[in-house]
Structure 1
């Protein structure tokens, strides 16, 4: 449902709330970033959606605090920061970013101005990245504020919020980049349906399969699986392995270079491939 709303608002915004008849600034990327992405209704819709998803974590935080006290609350925070259901929107968001703009003619109109393809591509991705940043900040802030409200210590809460908020943002960037790759490989409903399938696979099916099948060797196996949700799950389990124990320090959180690499490297690969596809695409 969320992805379809994003698709419709994207198509409506093809008519653009800003006038494409006006000259495009020579700074290109910044002009697109401000005129298209930030003014898009899907930008605001995503931020609101993440706030709602964070609100749904309230029940689990309450439960862990009631039964296990402050240690239980702190051990739950990294898991709550993994971004429940958010990838199901982010991947389709990326999957409709390029092909919808090509199909409705927005790209052709923009490129008739003094803009290059890389300006459009980079501007669109920067705009979506900013939406992810604001959504992630809202998500993490809600969980942190509520945790402090019910009794979590401020210093430890701040530490966990910074670390796992950053990990969530890198995870969502990977989903977005994969969506951009899908957007350059296929059109319309095919891209959207593929994105929804991959979001389910990477966010639910693969992590569940790996955790249940390789529990004893989870940390070593996860290094080879490009699933952001799995990497977040593994890091969360390493930090807070027991709901009765407080999480470890930030230094120990980040002492998992293989898992961190699987959050960052696929993002760069997906972006590079999607740019190569878009650069050679027929936009007519």
Structure 2
């Protein structure tokens, strides 16, 4: 519960921050004229955009690394044993970093197509809303209409993962959620209840925490999508930047 709550909260706020960072990365420097000064030196356009992206990667990576240490120290301070979740905290932040890098790359596309830094901020927030809320809601609704009956909890998670992988492969937040849904391992149990003197049996489930590592292995395709789509988005932004008029 703690990992799910903290990761979803971090995904929302860091996702907004990441896409805004990316959306102002290029056009703001064109407006200020700093990009022309940088390119007047021995810096190519390709080196400039890749270097800028790498710098933001380092910033977010260091921030999440510090977050991991602070989280573990805080839990240890309040008396929670962290020996069993230390690896999971770091793996979770690696997963968050991959998701943030994809959001930054999406922001770079916005930054290279929308010349006004002010307008790109509004576009970035709109794109984030579409990717984080609107499209997953639409896909979940369509999935619900075609949902087979009598699925176990594990089968339901797998069915949802397949649907999100097929129709939301371009959404970093959707892929992150799919991976996180696999942290629990569900087992079916039969329970009995007595009603008006009659005994009835029903099917229930127990959830056992299996870890972030297990979730990433089970949803390896979704982890790969985070990496592949980041490269695709960054490739589109780079292609556009190499052809931009920087005047």
- Equivalent-residue separation in structure 1 for 2:79 and 2:4 (angstroms): 16
1:100 to 22, 28, 44: 28
- Equivalent-residue separation in structure 1 for 2:127 and 2:78 (angstroms): 36
Quick check: 1:99–1:183 contact (8 Å CA) kept in 2? Answer: yes
Residues paired across the two proteins, number = 210
In structure 2, the residue matched to 1:179 is 107
Query: Quick check: 1:133 aligned with 2:61?
Result: yes
Distance 1:130 1:153, change over 3 A: same
2:175 to 225, 231, 236: 231
- Equivalent-residue separation in structure 1 for 2:27 and 2:46 (angstroms): 15
2:6 to 53, 69, 80: 80
Cα shift at 1:81: 2.6
- Equivalent-residue separation in structure 1 for 2:136 and 2:68 (angstroms): 22
- Equivalent-residue separation in structure 2 for 1:223 and 1:152 (angstroms): 35
Pick which of 143-152 and 164-173 moved more.
143-152
Does the residue aligned with 1:156 lie in a helix, a strand or coil? coil
Q: How does 1:167-206 map to 2 (within 5 A)?
A: 167-188=95-116, 189-206=118-135
Query: Quick check: 1:274 aligned with 2:237?
Result: yes
Compute the RMSD of aligned alpha carbons.
2.3
1:216-238: CA deviation from partner (whole Å, max 9, x where unpaired):
43111111312222222222221
Cα shift at 1:209: 4.6
In structure 1, the residue matched to 2:221 is 258
Quick check: 2:182–2:219 contact (8 Å CA) kept in 1? Answer: no
1:168-214: CA deviation from partner (whole Å, max 9, x where unpaired):
00000000011011111112222211101111222333345545653
2:160 to 209, 218, 222: 218
Give me the TM-score of the superposition, normalised by structure 2: 0.76
Larger radius of gyration: 2
1:24-45: CA deviation from partner (whole Å, max 9, x where unpaired):
xxxxxxxxxxxxxxxxxxxxxx
- Equivalent-residue separation in structure 2 for 1:150 and 1:244 (angstroms): 26
Quick check: 1:95–1:191 contact (8 Å CA) kept in 2? Answer: yes
Q: Which has the higher helix share?
A: 1
Unaligned runs of 5+ residues in structure 2 are 145-155, 187-205
Distance 1:214 1:184, change over 3 A: same
- Equivalent-residue separation in structure 2 for 1:134 and 1:182 (angstroms): 25
In structure 2, the residue matched to 1:71 is none
- Equivalent-residue separation in structure 2 for 1:146 and 1:134 (angstroms): 18
In structure 1, the residue matched to 2:246 is 283
Cα shift at 1:270: 0.6
Query: Quick check: 1:111 aligned with 2:60?
Result: no
Unaligned runs of 5+ residues in structure 1 are 1-74
